[in-house]
Amino acid sequence: MCHGLSENAQVKAKRHNDARGASHCVWLLNVHGFVTRKKKLQEFTHKPVPSQLYRALQQAIGEAGGWLPFDRFMALALYTPGLGYYANDLVKFGAMPGSGSDFVTAPELSPWFGRALGQQVAQALQATGTQEVWEFGAGTGALAQQVLEQLAAQGLTDVRYHIVDLSGTLRARQQERLHAFAGRVDWPTALPDKLQGVLLGNEVLDAMPVQLLVRVSGVWHERGVTFVPGAVDEGCALVWQDRPTHLRPPVDVPGEHDYLTEIHPQAEAFVRTLADRWTQGAAFFVDYGFPEAEYYHPQRHMGTLMCHKAHRSDPDPLVDVGLKDITAHVNFTGVALAAQEAGLQVMGYASQGRFLLNAGLLQLAENAPLPERAQLAKLVNEHEMGELFKVLALAPMASADGWLPMGFAVGDRTHAL
């Protein structure tokens, strides 16, 4: 997702890290107990979360013995039926806070995103001899609409489009938006045993729960969530608690300095699940993130976990739970390795800007009105979405040879993964 597009992404990342650093000391309860609990309760106490979700969290923490690893907390905060952020009926997607939205994504920002991606999809369908598109995490259905319109413009009117989304409320919005394509779009509740076609996911990997690892005084801990005992009101006393762990980041992080980061077992398991069933086609995953050498750089010591609400970012997922998005950057090396180990081939890895230009964005939008061209420039400008966002393409072995996805014709960075 994209915020304050006029700001430099690196400046934002630094601000994020500063904010996290500033509040770090008040979030943390150490594993040895609540030594300072009376005196410091104020500092640890967060704003209320919606009461039903709070009760669900409290129950889950209780059932887990008093401590939930962060990935389980994140899953509940985002996907608890009817209550989690992606399961409730808040607006979420939109260009401006005035609409009640929290963030904007590329297909919401400009329809030319999905049209250019649609050209890539058309090439991939033809090259792999498939006739189906599977989109994961389709949001409002904007990308589906853009891709289907582009496919139709290229004469591909018989392609079937399947949408898989964890969110029931978003599914309803997608159905409303895509009614013009009724009969060709469906919402399967499970993957078929044999999966064929072009797979798409825009900002879906970043929405998958992550585990938090924190190195404190040279010792690795897993960061989880608990609540302050005795805090009976819903003034919500969700707090961090770290426990020593054998888990480690996938690469060594040089140095002994304190270091917070994420690992992504769910995103990697998701790719393995696809690989188990997928026989033919190509996949394009678009998201913000880095190769692992950048992800686990010693200077990125406050990780990438971030929340989004009303077009502002904040680093505290324990506040306003269920009312804001929680996300982490993608470790593209981890996803690519999981794919390779499961028998898939990496077909390309490039910045979003480079990918869209290769896919013909500028030629497609040649006659677009000036305001639309100004908007689409944000998709490719390096200081906006063009560089932080990447595209990773995968294919089953049977579909990997004899063609090059057009989006990677120039500027492929697979070697950097």
Ligand X SMILES: C[S@@+](CC[C@H](N)C(=O)[O-])C[C@H]1O[C@@H](n2cnc3c(N)ncnc32)[C@H](O)[C@@H]1O
| Closer to ligand X by Cβ: residue 58 or 88 | 88
SS3 of 351-377: EHHHHHHHCCHHHHCCCCCHHHHHHHH
- Between residue 276 and residue 315, which ones bind ligand X under the rule CB under 6 A? none
Q: Using CB atoms within 10 Å of the CB of residue 97, give its burial: 0 to 12 exposed, 13 to 18 middle, 19+ buried.
A: middle
| Closest distance of CB 25 from ligand X, Å | 30
Taking the least distance from each CB to ligand X, the nearer of 29 and 359 is 359
Nearest CA-CA partner of 403 in 130, 122, 127, 125: 127
**Residue 239 CB, nearest distance to ligand X (Å)?**
26
- 374 by Cβ neighbours in 10 Å (0-12 / 13-18 / 19+) ranks as exposed
Q: Can you tell me which of 46, 69, 75, 107 binds ligand X, judged by CB under 6 A?
A: 107
Q: Which is nearer to ligand X, 71 or 242 (CB)?
A: 71
CA separation, residue 61 to residues 35, 58, 65, 157, 222 (Å) = 20, 5, 6, 49, 15
Footprint on residues 62-91 left by ligand X (CB under 6 A): 86
Spell out the residues 6+ positions from residue 347 whose beta carbon is closer than 8 angstroms to its own.
Answer: 282, 393, 394, 395, 400, 404, 405, 408
Positions 243 through 262 that interact with ligand X (CB under 6 A): none
* Interacting residues with ligand X between 151 and 210 (CB under 6 A): 164-167, 170, 202-204, 207-208
Q: Which stretch binds ligand X (CB under 6 A): 115-123, 136-144, 249-257, 346-354?
A: 136-144
Q: Is residue 61 part of the contact set for ligand X (CB under 6 A)?
A: no
The residue nearest ligand X at its CB is 137
Q: Which of 393, 390, 389, 387 is nearest to 406 (CA)?
A: 393
Q: For residue 319, give the nearest of 67, 46, 57, 102 by alpha carbon.
A: 46
Binding span for ligand X by CB under 6 A among 138-146, 314-322, 358-366, 397-405: 138-146
Smallest distance, Å, CB 170 to ligand X? Answer: 5
- Percentages helix, strand, coil for the chain (3-state, rounded to 5) are 40, 25, 35
Among 114, 139, 197, 315, binds ligand X (CB under 6 A): 139
The residue among 203 and 242 lying less far from ligand X, judged by its C-beta, is 203
Residues that bind ligand X (CB under 6 A): 1, 86, 93, 105, 107-108, 136-139, 142-143, 164-167, 170, 202-204, 207-208, 270
